[in-house]
Amino acid sequence: MNKIIVAVDGFSSCGKSTIAKAAASAFKYIYIDTGAMYRTVTLYAMREGMISGEGDDKTVDKERLQQAIDAGKLKVDFTLDPETNKPLARLNGEVVEGEIRGLEVSNNVSNVSAIPFVREFLTSQQREMGKEKGVVMDGRDIGTVVFPDAELKLFVTASPEVRAQRRYDELQRKGDTEVKYEDVLKNIQERDYLDTHRELAPLKQADDAIVIDNSNLTIAEQDELVSKYVQEAIDKANK
């Protein structure tokens, strides 16, 4: 049975990972969250004091970051949680899954993910991870840049307000009760702008992607739809 690559791209907090995880588990494929990889590099840069300034004046010390990457000081990978079997992002062997999801990393990640050598560094790792196929990878540029020949490309979207509410609820559940809905919405709008307007690998729908707007879909409806698309793509690859 030939395996395929499923590319899931879309805006921040639109449920890409829910779709990708469900598809990976239904078809026994490996799930790869590429946003977690950009977040982990961002956390490294923050910890090393490589990010300064605020808003439009925010700057990343690219020279030092490049040196760290070139010197092999920055290792990004995943390990499986022994209890839940879920992938956990690691920075140089340390599990950083909790830290990379906070608003602080979210506020810096677009600046770091716009840097060409960071994208090269992570894109080549992602291609390596997918070379045996049998992966569901979610991100912004999977169907356009990382795997332009992916057998199935999904482009997920929902309104900014629906996405902000979901992200806000998630943060509340995790005990981040200080955070305000307005700040989450603002962060989503800012990231939408930066993700779609950056020069390199901007978020855009691949010509051959299937669009899923899940603003009004239940998780069960969404899973059913996605499973149907994945099964069709697998059948096609095995004809």
Residue 35 interacting with ligand DC (CB under 6 A) = yes
Residue 140 interacting with ligand DC (CB under 6 A) = yes
CA–CA separation, 67 and 30 (whole Å): 31
Of 35 and 234, which has the nearer Cβ to ligand DC? Answer: 35
Task: Name 5's bridge partners.
Answer: 135
Residue 60 interacting with ligand DC (CB under 6 A) = no
Please give the size of the binding site for ligand DC, defined by CB under 6 A. 13
Of 107 and 234, which has the nearer Cβ to ligand DC? Answer: 107
Residue 144 interacting with ligand DC (CB under 6 A) = no
Of 90 and 237, which has the nearer Cβ to ligand DC? Answer: 90
Least CB distance to ligand DC at residue 238 (A): 28
Least CB distance to ligand DC at residue 186 (A): 14
Of 166 and 191, which has the nearer Cβ to ligand DC? Answer: 191
Least CB distance to ligand DC at residue 202 (A): 9
Exactly one of 22, 46, 109, 115 binds ligand DC (CB under 6 A); which one? Answer: 109
Least CB distance to ligand DC at residue 17 (A): 7
Q: Are 44 and 74 in contact (CB under 8 A)?
A: yes
Residue 167 interacting with ligand DC (CB under 6 A) = no
Tally of CB atoms within 10 A around 58: 13
Interacting residue ranges for ligand DC, rule: CB under 6 A: 12, 34-35, 38-39, 109-110, 113, 139-141, 191, 195
